[in-house]
Structure formats: C-alpha cells, structure tokens
A and B are shown apart, each in its own frame.
Chain A
C-alpha cells in the first residue's frame, strides 16, 4: 500500500472506524484513540496490507482494540448485565431510533459487534467472521440473537410508551 492509498483509507474509512468504536465503547475519547491506534498500525504495516483488504484489516484492529479497552475498563456488557438491566426502562425515549440505540448498547459485546458490522458497514457473514474470528454460522446466530433481543426490547418499550 502506498502513502496515497493509506491516505485514501483515512478519508474513506476513518468515519466508519470511529462510528464502530464509538458505538462499541460509548466513549468519544476512547473511540478517537482506537481510530488513531488502528490507523497507526495500518501505517506501520502498510507494506504488507493491500488496499483491497485494508477495510477488513482496520475493522479487525479496531475490534480487537475495543475488546481490549472494554476488558480493561470492565465495561464489557456481559449477558448478565444485559439481563439485569434488560427491562429496567428507567430511560425516557422519544422515538424508535433512540430505543434501538439504547437496546444496541445493552447487547452483549459479540452480538453488538456483529450487528454493527452487518448493518453499519454492510459486511457479509464471512467478512464479519474474518474480523471477529467467528465462523459464519456463529456470526449468523449472533446476529439472529441480537435481532431477537432488539425485537423483544422494542416490543417491550412500545408497551411502555
């Protein structure tokens, strides 16, 4: 990858990486750090990374970075926490989008990651599997579970609203 191609990656993908990190971490400062670290790693390895695989490489780095940060900060949204907070409904929502966002934030980390990559970035199961280290079947089932959770959450919130 040339410097020009690297800069093109920055222009095209930095927003997506930032969005992905921000959604995962829910911390703008941390998300910015993830973006910087991710592109720094791309720059270091730019001679080994082809332009066509750069996006997957970046998301994989960003994903691992997010996981590390979450683990270190003990902010990992484990299933237990989700279940615990699942139906507390303490927040006030004005529209469906906010409800969905709140629901996404309550998803377990692996489910959140795959559904973000699926819906935000449009990745297929195989690509998501390459980024996250899951099999295609695992990706699909995680997306299914995430959607089921969101659906249940939405249904419940509709009753509250």
Chain B
C-alpha cells in the first residue's frame, strides 16, 4: 500500500515536472517494463486538464475610456487659453511700455531730427512757412484735457514735407501723400496723449465728412500721417490748420519741442 502511494506520488511528480532529468528517465524506464505502471501513468496523464476555449462575451462593458489623451488635450488647451489670456492682458502694458520707451528714432519726423528752435530760426524765415504756426491755444477738444502750458523755454520747430511744391527747403520735411482734395481744417488744438484716436476724432468727422465721396481715402491717410508724426510728441499738444489747397499743416507743441508737418493732399480721381 505504501509502495503504491509512493509510486502515485512519483507519477504525480513526473507529471508535474518536479523530477530531475535523471529521476525522470529512471522512472520512465521503470514504467516501460510494467503494464500496471503504464496504465497508472496513462491515467495520471489524463488528469491533466485541457484548457477549454471559453470567451467572455461582454468585454466591451468592462473596457474603460482612455481619458489620458483627453486630459492631456484639455490641459494643453487650458495652457493655450491661459497664454492667450496673458497676452491679451499684457498687451495694454506692453503697449504702454512701448509708448513710454519709444525714443522716436526711425519714425518719420522723429524727435531726434528736430531742430532746436534757435537753430531753426536762423534758417527759416517766416515768409517761407506756408502758414504761420499758431502758438496760441484755440480750443481744447477733450473736455478734461488740460490746456497747453506755455513755457518760456525756446521750443524747437520743424516743418516736415518735401512734396509740397509751394514749400521750399531748407526745411527737413516728410511727405504724406493723400488722394483727397483740399481739406479745410479748422484751427484747433488736440490733446495727443492718444494721438491716433485724438486725431481721428478731431479732424475727420468735422472737416472730412464720411459721406462725401471726394474725401474718400483722405481720412485714413491723414490719420495715419498724423499718428506717425505725432509719435515723437507724445504727451504734447497738436494743432492742425489749413495751409493751401493741397496741404494741411500740423503743429506739434510740447514742453520741449514745437514742430510742424505738412500733409499734402491730391484731388480724387
């Protein structure tokens, strides 16, 4: 009985692969010689279960949506939105810094080119100017804007226009061509802390009516020119006055500088 149990255990270990190669060979040779052992070994081998093909049909119910990519994308979008929001918020600051740091260099009629008044007066005669630069404050468009402070310091003056045939150098001038006809712009003074907007409000609607086709293109040209020319004169006052039928004169004045510019206008085709 014990011998049978031992044999069963040996056959079990043979089936389980628990024997060494030598033990396995020895046992197999022992089995081969005895029919009862062969039968026992055959039955033992039959106890090894074959894996049945079973398929679980509801795998889809167990699967989970992989939200990793979505999360990642959402984070990316959040970052993009955050960066965009930061840019939008920073733009006014950036714009302000640009304004305050802008030396005017490279801009038409920049401050660096402006001739001090005492030097200009030596070369500019009053007769050569198309119109006399008004030094007096005529009106203040913006109600809350402070009137021009007059100073006793000499103010540099500059006339900017080279295309006006009526004008003769020695003035250092820059042209701003237009497609408009003669524009009659009333004398006035505008606060140019925001020169682009200020100039539009000041000149355009009053002196260049929107619904008149003959002024088509003039408004934007004048506005662009004024904005460019006003750049070096931030925090200054600007005065626009008519000169002749083809030009307008812009007079800038500030604590340090006083300058004029000419914008020549051509008739509409």
Q: Chain B residues near A39: list those with CB within 8 A.
A: 62
B51 within 8 Å of A by Cβ?
A: yes
> Is B47 in contact with A22, judged by CB distance below 8 angstroms?
no
Of B64-72, B204-212, B250-258, the segment with at least 4 beta carbons within 8 Å of chain A is B64-72
The binding surface of chain A is classed by DSSP as helix
> Is B47 in contact with A147, judged by CB distance below 8 angstroms?
yes
- CB within 8 Å for A3 and B50 given contacts A17-B56, A147-B12: no
B146 within 8 Å of A by Cβ?
A: no
- Rounded to whole Å, the gap between the CB of A3 and the closest CB of chain B is 5
Closest to B49 in A: A119
A147 to B11, CA, bound (A): 10
Closest to A38 in B: B62
Q: Chain A residues near B12: list those with CB within 8 A.
A: 143-144, 147-148
- CB within 8 Å for A2 and B56 given contacts A7-B63, A144-B12, A148-B8: no
> Is A2 in contact with B46, judged by CB distance below 8 angstroms?
no
B54 within 8 Å of A by Cβ?
A: yes
- Rounded to whole Å, the gap between the CB of A76 and the closest CB of chain B is 20
Instruction: Tell me which of A3, A10, A140, A148 contacts B66 (CB under 8 A).
Output: A3
Given contacts A119-B49, A119-B50, A144-B9, 10 further A-B contacts (CB under 8 A): A3-B68, A7-B66, A10-B62, A15-B56, A17-B56, A35-B58, A100-B46, A100-B47, A100-B49, A154-B46
Q: From residue 134 to 156 of chain A, which have CB atoms closer than 8 A to chain B? A: 140, 143-144, 146-148, 150-151, 154-155
A-B contact pairs, 23 of them (CB 8 A): A3-B67, A6-B64, A7-B66, A10-B59, A14-B56, A18-B55, A19-B52, A22-B54, A32-B58, A36-B58, A100-B47, A119-B48, A119-B50, A143-B16, A144-B9, A147-B47, A148-B12, A150-B46, A151-B43, A151-B46, A154-B46, A154-B47, A155-B43
User: How many pairs, one residue from A and one from B, have CB atoms within 8 Å of each other in the complex?
Assistant: 78
Closest to A152 in B: B43
B108 within 8 Å of A by Cβ?
A: no
A143 to B13, CA, bound (A): 11
A43 within 8 Å of B by Cβ?
A: yes
- Rounded to whole Å, the gap between the CB of B160 and the closest CB of chain A is 68
Q: Chain A residues near B28: list those with CB within 8 A.
A: none
A36 to B50, CA, bound (A): 25
> Is B47 in contact with A120, judged by CB distance below 8 angstroms?
no
Closest to A147 in B: B47
B228 within 8 Å of A by Cβ?
A: no
Q: Which A residues contact B (CB, under 8 angstroms)?
A: 2-4, 6-7, 10-11, 14-15, 17-19, 22, 32, 35-36, 39, 43, 96-97, 100, 104, 115-116, 119-120, 140, 143-144, 146-148, 150-151, 154-155
- Rounded to whole Å, the gap between the CB of B103 and the closest CB of chain A is 57
> Is B68 in contact with A32, judged by CB distance below 8 angstroms?
no
Interface centre among A3, A32, A43, A146 (most CB of B within 10 A): A3
Q: Chain B residues near A97: list those with CB within 8 A.
A: 50
B44 within 8 Å of A by Cβ?
A: yes
B124 within 8 Å of A by Cβ?
A: no
